[in-house]
Amino acid sequence: MRRVVVTGVGMITPVANSAEESWKAFIQGKSGTGPITQIDGTPFQSKVSAEVKNFDPTHYIKPKDIKKTDRFVQFAIVSSSMALQDSKIDVKNEDPYRIGVLVGSGIGGLRVIEEQHKIMLEKGPGRISPFLIPMLIVNMAPGQISIHLGLKGPNNCVATACATGSNAIGDAFKIVQRGEADVMLAGGTESCITMLGFGGFDAMKALSTHNEHPQTASRPFDKTRNGFVMGEGCGILVLEELEHAKKRGAKIYCEMAGYGMTSDASHITAPDPSGEGAARCMAQALKDANLKPGDVDYINAHGTSTPLNDKVETLAIKKVLGEDQARKIKISSTKSMTGHLLGAAGGVEGIVCVLALRHGIIPPTINYKHPDPDCDLDYVPNEAVRMKVNVALSNSLGFGGHNACVAFKAFRD
């Protein structure tokens, strides 16, 4: 199998509009959550969200094209452009047929659906935008990335709810491993803080109702957690075949080593209470990477801040690593700062693992104040920890029982 390394990253998050600034915010424990502003929160039980602030796509997308793209696609184009710039790949000097894109979204263009539905009801079907369909469909994220950047290699889209970003990274990793491309841009994007999107999660009672303290509403593994904070954003990694990267003198962040995916086959929204599916997923990723449970230093947990998810994920980590090893490693949930980015979560959290390996810093789980006897591991509470990280896992667990885990390790030539 060909070796695959990470040579570029790009992200848009609720804490900052670049990978570099987002990482600084993460290690400082900065919260990106706050009172909801994109919609009127009055009708809802939850009034907290994690919104991207001051996003300006004009540096990367022409104004005429901005009008034809939904916000989730704009996030994807901008993040991919930044990731490609970070990798210093000059597409003009590369074979575009050997560079591909695999980017997913859990929900896609819900905002434009709502806007155009309102126009149809008020003004009639003759006023529906001819760009409606290409604006809303989920696959337009990788489609538009390839168009804007001139990438003609494998192009695909994943939609596995909250596991989307990790599945996209893992699938792209396999494409490079198999030799079907030399470079893949991979990750997830999401922007659906709309009346319908927010209202749907609110109706499920899945959202945090800690409205009185919006910046601390996302509190993974804390005993007082009562739901996730809905967020938006995007995370894109450049995955590159090792010899291709070395030939052009690329900066190598780390090596991508393994990938696992499983199904709970249990419930449409809740994880299997035994944690069996998530544990198998992590075990698959370790086996694929030829790693042992004792090799793991850090896990970026799915850690949604919902009562059941955090309890089950803790149980799953113990199952796959064993009680002793599970208590030795560092685990943190950056959703405490970003909220839950849905289909984009795995992309951003994969980058967090990459940067933890590179910089030797593990970002904290903020807002952790009340220990839960069901969540009794080291969640790096409230302050970042400096330590050498050789192996990191990123977990993503999605509605429908989808489980995905990606494994990264320090690069050694």
For 198-219, the pLDDT digits (tens) are 999 999 999 999 999 999 999 9
Among the listed residues 340, 375, 402, 405, the single catalytic one is: 340
Torsion of CA 329, 335, 337, 339, to 10 degrees: -170
Q: How many CB atoms lie within 10 A of CB 306?
A: 23
170 membership: H or E segment, kind and range? helix 164-178
What is the phi/psi pair of residue 275, to 5°? Answer: 75, 10
Q: Output the pLDDT for position 1.
A: 83
Active site residue 302: yes
- Average pLDDT, integer, range 177-182: 98
Percent of the chain with pLDDT over 90: 100
- The structural domains of the chain, ordered by start, are 4-247 (3.40.47.10), 258-409 (3.40.47.10)
Nearest to 201 by CA among 313, 103, 375, 341: 341
Active site residue 162: yes
Do 308 and 274 meet the contact criterion of CB atoms below 8 Å apart? no
Angle at which helix 19-28 crosses helix 71-87, to 10 degrees, equals 100
User: 3-class DSSP state for residue 238?
Assistant: strand
Among the listed residues 148, 157, 162, 254, the single catalytic one is: 162
Confidence of residue 413 (pLDDT cuts 50, 70, 90): confident
Among the listed residues 148, 210, 244, 302, the single catalytic one is: 302
Which amino acid belongs to residue 332?
Answer: S
Q: Is the pLDDT of residue 391 over 90?
A: yes
Q: List pLDDT tens digits, range 375-389.
A: 999 999 999 999 999
Q: Output the pLDDT for position 248.
A: 97
Q: List pLDDT tens digits, range 217-271.
A: 999 999 999 999 999 999 999 999 999 999 999 999 999 999 999 999 999 999 9
Paired residues of 300 in beta bridges: 332, 394
Give the whole-angstrom CA distance, residue 399 versus residue 272: 11
282 membership: H or E segment, kind and range? helix 276-288
